[in-house]
Structure 1
Amino acid sequence: MGEQVKGLAHVAFNVSDMDKAIQFYQDVLGFEKAFDLKNPKTGEPWIVYLYAGGNQFVELFYGGVNYQEYKDENIGFSHTCLEVGDIHEIADRIVKAGWVLDSQVSQGMDMNWQCWTHDPDHNRIELMQMEADSLQYQFLREHNLL
């Protein structure tokens, strides 16, 4: 990776119900609320940042109103993938919290374990447990990035 780009800093979503979104990301997935920002023009709540590990955050914007249904042929955003330490533990936690798994735990073509869910606004989320024999891990090892 070039020296100018260090990595992904955050992913941002417009949400229809901030309380539901925070409950999902914080209570179900385990993110920590980092801080919130007020709109500089109005002083009203504007953005909530949730800490996602490393130098990464999830940024939630108030006021989403126009839901766009995901379709495989859409151009643009597809999903967010979160790396997890134990795919079965997070899948169980999601179900026990009353949320839906869109697909059960399975091994992907890249050799990582994965399952899928979605947030309260139907943004697709892949949960992935990276395996030592996965294609991603092989790349990282070959490039001395581990």
Structure 2
Amino acid sequence: MGISNVSAAMSRSARTTLTALLVAGALCARSNSSFAQSTPQRPKILGLAHIALFAHDMDQSRKFYSEFLGFEEVYPLKNPDGSLSMSFFKVNDHQYIELSPEKQPDTDRLSHISFETDNIEALRAYLASKGVKVPDQAKPVRVGNLAFNITDPAGHTVEMVQYMPEGETEKNYGKHLGPNRISTHMTHVGIIVSDLEPEYKFYTEVLGFKETWRGSSNGTVLSWINLKAPDSDDYVELMLNKPEPAPTKRGTAHHLCLVVPNVNQAVAKLKATSYMKVYSKDIDIHLGKNRKQQANLFDPDGTRTEVMEPTTIDGKPTPPSSAPPPQ
């Protein structure tokens, strides 16, 4: 074979190889693109929607959250017999405290926590793709929003909700925001965790939360981890307890936190309410381990409301604890 024929054959071979590589690359790119499109993406998690609590005495608990904390009670829900099924206390347009009657003795007072999303069906599909057990579809709740429940590794019920135009939440935007509110924002909720690793992975790797701080009450064992929602400054506080306290002793750990610009002024406002005639506990203003001024309040069932300033006493960040979690 002549030199020119050899060159031509090599050229044809090179072109064939190049073409094959280009086709393979295109198919691979198309496959990757198709895979990316078929893998659900997490929609936004916009922050805390509510904390739902049980009350042994609804009348007394309603007074605590309305007369003492100053939140307006909105659209109470009734049972078929006319008795109260659930009541909502409005913190702001996107956040509520829910109360439901539950008179069984020796039970936990936390019903569930809830996060708001901008696309409930996309979130349901995303969680399903991550192996989280979800219902077949989100369903309307009694106040007109779309929601579904999941269970986190620690056994807590977590409700995901999307506020809908026809729902009571959106229809009441700008309403029931009275001047007596002790706070206008619920910055976090606390939930008990005994087995840290699966709970931490669930909130960080599945839901996309990010750790912002961890602390210890005694310097030797880790007590709390703060995990911030991906599209909000709201966070869930993992309260590390091993073993878990008895159901009737969980009210301090299972809690909500209301942020206030000045705790001293907030406590003075609380002490000026008529509810102080029946509130028997001391209100102690103290500096927390996170170096933020705070005070603790307890509803008639013993569930704690933490009232806390947004920044540390000197504006400097508090170093995280290096203590190990409880074993």
TM range (shorter): 0.7 to 0.9
Higher relative contact order (CA 8 A, sep 6+): 1
Contact 1:101–1:116, Cα closer than 8 Å, also in 2: no
User: What is aligned with 1:33?
Assistant: 73
Contact 1:36–1:46, Cα closer than 8 Å, also in 2: yes
Distance 1:4 1:18, change over 3 A: same
Distance 1:135 1:86, change over 3 A: same
User: What is aligned with 2:256?
Assistant: 80
Is 1:22 the counterpart of 2:62? The answer is yes
Question: Between Structure 1 and Structure 2, which shows a larger proportion of helix residues?
Answer: 2
Provide the C-alpha distance between the structure 2 equivalents of 1:57 and 1:48, rounded to a whole number of angstroms: 10
The DSSP-based 3-state class of the residue aligned with 1:10 is strand
User: What is aligned with 2:87?
Assistant: 48
Contact 1:38–1:44, Cα closer than 8 Å, also in 2: yes
Structure 1 stretch displaced more, 12-21 or 77-86: 77-86
Provide the C-alpha distance between the structure 2 equivalents of 1:34 and 1:15, rounded to a whole number of angstroms: 17
TM-score (norm 2): 0.36
User: What is aligned with 2:48?
Assistant: 8
Question: How many corresponding residue pairs?
Answer: 134
TM-score (norm 1): 0.74
User: What is aligned with 2:178?
Assistant: none
Higher Rg: 2
Distance 1:7 1:107, change over 3 A: same
Structure 1 residue runs of 5 or longer lacking an equivalent are 137-146
Deviation at 1:107, TM superposition (A): 1.8
Deviation at 1:42, TM superposition (A): 4.8
Provide the C-alpha distance between the structure 2 equivalents of 1:95 and 1:84, rounded to a whole number of angstroms: 15
Contact 1:33–1:48, Cα closer than 8 Å, also in 2: yes
> How big is the alpha-carbon RMSD for the aligned residues of Structure 1 and Structure 2?
3.0
The DSSP-based 3-state class of the residue aligned with 2:48 is coil
Letter in 1 for 2:54: N
Is 1:117 the counterpart of 2:157? The answer is no
Provide the C-alpha distance between the structure 1 equivalents of 2:258 and 2:48, rounded to a whole number of angstroms: 12
Provide the C-alpha distance between the structure 2 equivalents of 1:38 and 1:118, rounded to a whole number of angstroms: 26
Deviation at 1:91, TM superposition (A): 2.1
Distance 1:46 1:90, change over 3 A: same
Distance 1:23 1:107, change over 3 A: same
Distance 1:3 1:48, change over 3 A: same
Structure 1 stretch displaced more, 96-105 or 107-116: 96-105
Contact 2:297–2:305, Cα closer than 8 Å, also in 1: yes
Contact 2:86–2:100, Cα closer than 8 Å, also in 1: yes
Provide the C-alpha distance between the structure 2 equivalents of 1:86 and 1:55, rounded to a whole number of angstroms: 23
The superposition leaves residues 80-138 of structure 1 with CA deviations (integer Å, 9 ceiling, x where unpaired) of 111123311332344451424556111223232101121011112211011262649xx
The DSSP-based 3-state class of the residue aligned with 1:23 is helix
Contact 1:33–1:51, Cα closer than 8 Å, also in 2: yes
Letter in 1 for 2:244: N
Identity of aligned residues (%): 25
Contact 1:38–1:46, Cα closer than 8 Å, also in 2: yes
Contact 1:13–1:60, Cα closer than 8 Å, also in 2: yes
Contact 2:293–2:308, Cα closer than 8 Å, also in 1: yes
Provide the C-alpha distance between the structure 2 equivalents of 1:93 and 1:74, rounded to a whole number of angstroms: 35
